[in-house]
Copies of this chain bind each other. A is one copy, B any other.
Amino acid sequence: MVLHQMPRWSARLFRAPPGWRRTCVLGPSMGSRWLPDRWGMYSPLVCRGYSSASGSPEVMLTCKRYPVQRLPFSTVSEKDLAAFESIIPGRVITDPDQVEACNVDWLRSVRGCSKVLLRPQTSEEVSHILRHCHERNLAVNPQGGNTGLVGGSVPVFDEIILSTALMNKVISFHNVSGILVCQAGCVLEELSRYVQEQDFIMPLDLGAKGSCHIGGNVSTNAGGLRFLRYGSLRGTVLGLEVVLANGTILNCLTSLRKDNTGYDLKQLFIGSEGTLGIITTVSILCPPRPQAVNVAFLGCPGFAEVLQTFTTCKGMLGEVLSAFEFMDAECMRLVRQHLHLAIPVQESPFYALVETSGSSVGHDAEKLGSFLEQVLDSGLVTDGTVATDQRKVQTLWALRERITEALSHDGYVFKYDISLPVERLYDLVIDLRTRLGPLAKHVVGYGHLGDGNLHLNVTAEAFSEGLLSSLEPYVYTWTAEQQGSVSAEHGLGFKKRHVLGYSKPPVAVQLMQQLKLLLDPKGILNPYKTLPAQD
């Protein structure tokens, strides 16, 4: 495992937008990486009205942009720094430039003003650090790859940043059961490579895999591209070691598929975004590596036909279906317009990307062939193309995965990540087009149809309060009326914590607050995140 400090996206999945400096660094086991130009980087979410002394756009401090009050935590003293230095000699970072990179999220939408970055290597070091912070009432912001989309991974004020970057060792891998045990700071892509060499795959895959840490994936209960096939981390994570707020090490690091001894405590830490404990070690079940991967890119005449294609697909592809994504015509027009990618099928109101992963090349091709014949004959699909070789598979996936990038070229983007009952998945897009009219440049919908997960994006020439107030709370209310989730896979972090109530009843929110109080009575772990501020 090699240390990487800067956000690193899989080259296949993320192309540098204008303003990024492309720097390709190759190591013996690392592949290519993108290192962002620290100040020159452009993001549609950058706060344009706020500039640094140098004149380049700088991210406005979260505490200035948002109405949030610092809680009465202590401030880091020289004595604290000395204590940290004695726990992790040489790994207490106070150099402003180094700390600054960890103060800003990768979307450049939120920015803390921490003065200290700690880089422990072991759970015991994390334990000693937290024991000190707990005694001294110092707030701590755990940070993995800093690739979160809701401002959960950077400080809001001056919280100490505790990075898992140096906790990047594989502890064990069992090549019969496929059980991997590793430290929280292992980068997902490196773990993928590691287990693939032994004919397994990681049970999750994400666009941010080149940077994100497995500990962060678990802390945010990451979904991603393999969710439809391999399910939630709540099923595939077998064990965790966690350091609690007071420094106690909680060892739930079993590597057993079945264990019904008492309450399953690890579940408390999956998806709680570092607010209940810091995950230091993960035990996770890896599925066998598929021998064959096929991708079909299809054009559909309407959303009803997309849904019927999905149903047909589930029936006919069954166990080899590994992804079902949909995109509307607007998405694909933007991809063509801004990225000059060719859409390999005739223009259609909707498109679907279907992936199969299986253990037999011939069988999978045959299953896919029968399915395609069926959906073409019945008119559910009007045109389509299939890829079997890896290069073409990647080309087709790029049409789906580069939508985010295409949108960022279109102007300011308002982003929503919601779960809805599958048959209502596209209604909100249609509804918003009517509601917003000329206020919006484009209203587009795409996402993981197989998981009922819609990525709804609205673009405009520039940020507009008027547009925002037409969108919010409307989008959240609409979602709540359908019993949907206002955050399907991104979590709540800092930016969405106030919308929790749209998806959870007051009784649930109250119980969450009680759990927080039980596990972190002083509230030092990732404060201002996940749960709404209490009056």
Contact = CB atoms under 8 A, between A and B. Distances in A.
Interface of A: 174-178, 199, 220-221, 223, 227, 231-232, 234-236, 248-252, 254-265, 267-268, 270-272, 276, 288, 290-291, 307, 310-311, 314-320, 357-360, 363, 366-367, 419-423, 448, 451-453, 483-492, 499-500, 502-505, 507-509, 511-512, 514-515, 518, 530-531
9 contacts: A175-B311, A254-B485, A254-B503, A256-B421, A259-B487, A262-B512, A262-B531, A263-B530, A515-B518
B272 A485 contact: no
Number of copies: 2
B452 A262 contact: no
Contacts of A486: 261
B267 A234 contact: yes
Contacts of A499: 261
Contact of A500 (B262, B367, B421): B262
A250 B504 CA distance: 10
Contact of A315 (B288, B420, B485, B490): B288
A366 to B, nearest CB: 7
B488 A263 contact: no
A254 B531 contact: no
Given A318-B291, A366-B363, A261 B531 contact: no
B485 A260 contact: yes
A250 B508 contact: yes
A500 B261 contact: yes
A515 B263 contact: yes
A528 to B, nearest CB: 15
Contact of A453 (B258, B311, B360, B518): B258
A297 B257 CA distance: 24
Q: Which of A258, A367, A491, A515 has the most CB of B within 10 A?
A: A258
Nearest to A261: B503
A272 B265 CA distance: 11
Contacts of A484: 256
A508 B252 contact: yes
Contact of A263 (B176, B268, B483): B268
B531 A258 contact: no
Given A250-B507, A251-B505, A264-B234, A258 B315 contact: no
B359 A221 contact: no
Contacts of A267: 234, 264, 267-268
A263 B272 contact: yes
B258 A176 contact: no
B265 A512 contact: yes
A307 B258 CA distance: 18
Given A221-B264, A234-B234, A419 B359 contact: no
A231 B284 CA distance: 13
A531 B490 CA distance: 35
Q: Which of A311, A366, A511 has the most CB of B within 10 A?
A: A511
A174 B448 CA distance: 18
Contact of A363 (B250, B363, B515): B363
A175 B307 CA distance: 11
Contacts of A232: 234-235, 258
Given A264-B267, A267-B264, A518-B514, A259 B318 contact: no
Given A263-B271, A485-B260, A503-B259, A358 B176 contact: no
A105 B358 CA distance: 44
Contacts of A220: 260
A502 B264 CA distance: 15
B360 A227 contact: no
Given A176-B307, A267-B234, A258 B452 contact: yes
A359 B262 contact: no
A247 B154 CA distance: 39
B311 A256 contact: no
B259 A264 contact: no
Given A220-B260, A258-B488, A262-B503, 16 more contacts: A176-B310, A223-B260, A231-B231, A252-B504, A259-B487, A259-B503, A260-B489, A261-B487, A262-B492, A263-B272, A263-B512, A263-B530, A288-B315, A288-B318, A359-B367, A518-B518
